[in-house]
Chains A and B, each alone.
Chain A
Amino acid sequence: MTAPAGITLSGLSKTFHGRGKRVEALRDVTLTCAPGSFTALIGPSGCGKSTVLRAALGLEPLEAGKVEIGGQTPQRATAAGITGVAFQDAGLLPWRTVTRNIALPLEVLGRDVGPAAGRIRDLIALVGLKGYEDALPGELSGGMRQRVAIARALVSEPRVLFLDEPFGALDQILRRQMNIELQRIWAKTGVTTLLVTHGIDEAVFLADRVAVMQSVPGRIVDVVDTDLPRPRDAALFAAPHFHELCDRIAGVLHGA
């Protein structure tokens, strides 16, 4: 796998206009993610954290600010296949099998799907869906679809991975399982990751650093380093230091 690339967000600002109202969605959001790091972006609903991620991918026009992924504009970086992404909803195409859904980014990037067959098989095994290669999304459970989306995010061998609440729709038990799995996948690939979430424990469990946002205007109010040893496993959820960190972030979130 190629070397990971960093993400630099500097001074992102954006205002939504609608029905006579102005909502300042982002104000001067600045965040740097070093190559190979895992950063979580956490905040209450509607604070603009998803907008940050969409802006980082070039999907959201900005009023001010600059995004660089591995030193390139988001448009160039995404078209070059440097990035991978999974959204809150799996967004699978209902008429494509699991294998062909995972291959979708390769088709968009204009790469050959044939030679990637082996890697797609490995990814399916990695997310624990062996035996479902030819299943249609309608035949899978919500958690399984989300895992397909994770595999799809990895298929282009990205150097930067964007995850927008990929487990938001899952129940707490499944979510923990997926967190442990994602941790394992990240350790194996070493890809620079930016995770948007509203789960404090999820953020602390997975990330090296947690950037905390508050709303109206959407802004980053604090960045908390999580100095927890790796590899992390399920036992960590019960560790006292883990809870200390969670409480600290909760404090920042509630504006203490």
Chain B
Amino acid sequence: MAPDLRRWLPPVLLLAAWEIAGQLDIVASGALPALSEILGRLWVDRADYPAHVMATLLASGAGFAIGNLIAVLAGLLFVMSPVAERLSRGLNIAIFALPPIAIAPILTLTLEGMTPRIVLAALGVYFVTMQATVTGLTHYDSRAADVVRAYGGGRGAVLRLIRLRGAVPAILSGFRVAAPNAVLGAILAEFGGGGRFGLGAYLLGSLGRGEPDRLWGIGLVATLIAGLSYAVFALISRRMLGASIALSLNPAAPPSVQLEQASLLLVVGAVLMPFAVWWAILWALRVPEMLGKTPWGVVDYLFLAQTAPTAQARLLAALVQTLPITLVGMAAGLAFAFALAVAGRLTPAFTRAFLPVALVTQTMPLVALTPLLVLLLGRGTAVTLWITISVTFFPAYVMIAQGIAQVPRAALELPRAYGATGWVELRLVALPASIPWLFAAVRLTAPRALLGVMIAEWLATGRGLGNLLNQSRGYLDFGMIWTVAVVSVVISVGFYLLASWLETLVLRRMGMALRE
């Protein structure tokens, strides 16, 4: 009874505090309604919800299915053919790094009906599942593979009998992480693309009415859907995993297939691939030239056309506002994650209390969260920072905590055997050991930071790239819409590559291995 009580106490206390604060209108003069008020409003609006929820479920479900199908097949292809993997690396990083909010307007311009929502949801799941598939297929039990090979089985037999089935747990965990992404993608496209139904459209329609309780209600429902989608796959993978835990640790990792040398041709191909795909899609869909800008069209708009100087000036002004806050937000998010991981190591009780709350904020679709934060924090720089921190800290925290947790017991206990305190132990052993994970966290959170900043700019502060995108939508300035999308993808990819480069540099000097 007692441990159970301790586990439930923090969330219950939090909910109680929320209720009291809401009833007394303490926070931002009523911007945070009491839980009971929100639930009451949900009940009043209950007739509105089914159509919106259905639309969101349909789009995110279809996107989830299509995106995952492509992702698993792509993962399979990349494992079978290192050349294909190398060639597609640029495209993969671009898909991973692209801020969904930047391409939502483009998708609504070029595609019709539900398609933009489905595409954005599919884009949200692709990278996660593809990566999980590759990891699952690559890390197989070499001893079991030896058995198959000892009976004359070739690569095909090893793949069919061992690697495919062995990858199932990894793929399922990919689905689990990807599921809330699909919901987020669908809601973002609904929000940025118009249309009558969908939670994003509902949110957009309710924004101007100054009814915090309804906004909170929509946010809660969106969070619930995203959270449930995560839970469903968590449950499925737990059931499947029962039979698949490795029996003993395999000391020898399977030999990794490495290309001798990344030939220049492959590198150039990898860089050109995203542009080729962009061109090919426009061509295949027969998008009118005015709406769908080709890579050349963007160059023309930004450098050659008569309006180019003004376009450049506007873009530059936006970048000057966006970039610094992105870096500051990312640094703050990482620092917060780091502090949290350290606190978790020193006082596990704190982590236990805090983590469930953090988990809920992570499944909360960002677009739904932003209006609520605006209500609480106003429209200043603070709201941008908070949003950026909230999108970056959790993945970073998970990474860093994993790094600290993976230090072998024996290494940790050595300082302790000489009477070291928790802090000394952390400083001497745990922190240095978790450096590879810290770098991986930087690499993974950089694109998310830009996404957070742009969403905040679009919805809250009216500054920078996010605002430029929103304005251009209003003016039907298609050239600028495409330019912002391209520039934000390029910045994201740039951050990612910069972080990877630093990571390789530092780890090589420290003689440590890269963490995928």
Nearest B-chain residue to A152, judged by Cβ: B147
Q: Are B161 and A138 in contact (CB under 8 A)?
A: no
The 0/1 profile, CB within 8 Å of B marked 1, for residues 39-82 of chain A is 00000000000000010010100000000000000010011110
Interface readout for A125-159 with B: 1 if CB under 8 Å, 0 if not?
A: 00000000000111000000100000010001000
Most B-side CB within 10 Å, residue of A93, A138, A156: A93
Q: A91-B141, A94-B243, A108-B157 are in contact. Are A78 and B165 (CB under 8 A)?
A: no
Closest approach, in angstroms, between the C-beta of B343 and any C-beta of chain A? Answer: 36
Using known A-B contacts A87-B147, A91-B143, determine if residue A75 contacts B152 with beta carbons closer than 8 Å.
yes
Q: Write the chain A residue with the least CB distance to B153.
A: A108
Decide yes or no whether A105 CB sits under 8 A from chain B.
yes
Complex: chain A residue closest to B144, CB-CB: A91
Q: How many A-B residue pairs have CB under 8 A?
A: 71
Distance between B67 CB and nearest chain A CB, rounded to angstroms: 26
Q: A79-B152, A93-B162, A93-B165 are in contact. Are A105 and B245 (CB under 8 A)?
A: no
Residues from chain B with a CB closer than 8 A to the CB of A109 are 151-152
Q: Are A89 and B143 in contact (CB under 8 A)?
A: yes
A85 near B245 (CB under 8 angstroms)? no
- With A89-B143, A91-B143, A95-B165 as contacts: A108 and B247 at CB distance below 8 Å: no
Known contacts A87-B147, A93-B144, A108-B157, A137 near B247 by CB under 8 Å: yes
Given A92-B247, A94-B244, decide whether A81 and B151 contact each other with a Cβ distance below 8 A.
yes
Which of B141, B153, B245 gathers the greatest number of chain A CB atoms within 10 Å? B153
Chain A residue nearest to B149 (CB atoms) is A59
Contact across chains for B247 and A94 when beta carbons are under 8 A apart: yes
A87-B143, A91-B141, A91-B143 known; A104+B148 contact, CB < 8 A: yes
Contact with A along B462-501 (1 / 0, CB 8 A): 0000000000000000000000000000000000000000
Question: Cβ of B248 < 8 Å from any Cβ of A?
Answer: yes
Contacts of B161 in A (CB 8 A): 93, 104, 107-108
Contact call A89/B248, Cβ cutoff below 8 A: yes
Query: How long is the Cα–Cα vector from A55 to B105 in the complex, in angstroms?
Result: 61
In Å, the complex CA distance between A162 and B141 comes to 20
Cα-based distance from A104 to B165 in the complex (angstroms): 14
- Chain A residues lying within 8 Å of B148, measured Cβ to Cβ, are 104, 108
Chain B CB within 10 Å, residue with most, of A81, A104, A136: A104
Q: Which residue, B152, B153, B157, has most C-beta atoms of chain A within 10 A?
A: B152
CB distance from B510 to the nearest CB of A (A): 18
Instruction: Find out whether the CB atom of A138 lies under 8 angstroms from the CB atom of B243.
Output: yes
- B144 x A108 contact (CB < 8 A): no
A59's partner among B146, B157, B248 (CB-CB below 8 A) is B146
Q: Give a binary string over B159-196; 1 marks a CB under 8 Å from any A CB, 0 the rest.
A: 00110011000000000000000000000000000000
Question: Is the CB–CB distance between B147 and A95 below 8 Å?
Answer: no
Q: Does A192 contact B (CB under 8 A)?
A: no
A57 to B152, alpha carbons, bound, how many Å? 9
Any B CB within 8 A of the CB of A83 = yes
Q: Given A91-B141, A95-B165: A105 and B247 within 8 A (CB)? A: no
Do residues A108 and B152 form an inter-chain contact, with CB atoms below 8 A?
yes
Shortest Cβ distance from residue B165 to the other chain A in the assembled complex, whole angstroms: 6
Per the CB 8 Å criterion, the residue count for chain A at the interface is 30
Q: B428 → chain A, closest Cβ, in Å?
A: 28
B143: chain A residues at CB < 8 Å are 87, 89, 91
Measured between beta carbons, the chain A residues less than 8 angstroms from B250 are: 89
Q: Which residues of B contact A81 (CB under 8 A)?
A: 151-152
Interface residues of A in 80-125 (CB under 8 A from B): 80-81, 83, 85, 87, 89-95, 104-105, 107-109
B5 located at the interface, meaning its Cβ lies under 8 Å from any Cβ of chain A in the complex: no
**Neighbour of A104 across the interface among B147, B166, B245, B247, CB < 8 A:** B147
- Given A59-B146, A87-B143, is A94 in contact with B246 using a C-beta cutoff of 8 Å? yes
Q: How many Å from the CB of B160 to the closest CB on chain A?
A: 9
Distance of A198 Cα from B245 Cα, bound (Å): 30
Shortest distance from the beta carbon of B255 to any chain A beta carbon, whole Å = 12
User: Contact: A78 with B151, CB < 8 Å?
Assistant: yes
| Nearest opposing residue in chain A for B162, CB measure | A93
| Residues of B contacting A57 in the complex (Cβ-Cβ under 8 angstroms) | 149-150
CB distance from A161 to the nearest CB of B (A): 11
How long is the Cα–Cα vector from A105 to B148 in the complex, in angstroms? 7
Closest-by-CB residue of B relative to A80 is B152
Chain B residues near A80 (CB, 8 Å)?
152
A95 and B243 within 8 A (CB) = yes
Given known contacts A92-B144, A107-B161, is B150 in contact with A138 (CB within 8 Å)? no
- Give B365 Cβ to nearest chain A Cβ, in Å: 35
Considering the chains assembled together, what is the distance between the CA atoms of A109 and B141 in angstroms? 20
Taking a contact as CB atoms under 8 Å apart, the answer to whether A156 and B151 are in contact is yes
CB distance from A166 to the nearest CB of B (A): 12
Contact among A75, A91, A107, A156 with B146 in the assembled complex (CB-CB below 8 Å): A91
Distance between B136 CB and nearest chain A CB, rounded to angstroms? 13
Nearest CB of chain A from residue B150's CB, rounded to whole Å: 4
Distance, CA A90 to CA B147, complexed state (A) = 9
Please indicate the chain B residues that have their CB under 8 angstroms from the CB of A107 in the complex.
161
Report the bound CA distance from A10 to B200 in whole Å.
74
Residues of A contacting B153 in the complex (Cβ-Cβ under 8 angstroms): 108
11 contacts between A and B (CB under 8 A): A54-B146, A57-B149, A57-B150, A78-B151, A78-B152, A85-B147, A89-B248, A94-B244, A108-B153, A109-B151, A156-B151
| A residues with CB within 8 A of B | 54, 57, 59, 75, 78-81, 83, 85, 87, 89-95, 104-105, 107-109, 136-138, 145, 152, 156, 162
Which 4 pairs across A and B sit closest by C-beta, in order of nearness? A79-B152, A91-B143, A108-B153, A78-B152
Given contact pairs A59-B149, A87-B143, A109-B151, a sample of 5 additional A-B residue pairs in the complex whose CB atoms are under 8 Å apart: A80-B152, A85-B147, A85-B150, A92-B144, A94-B246
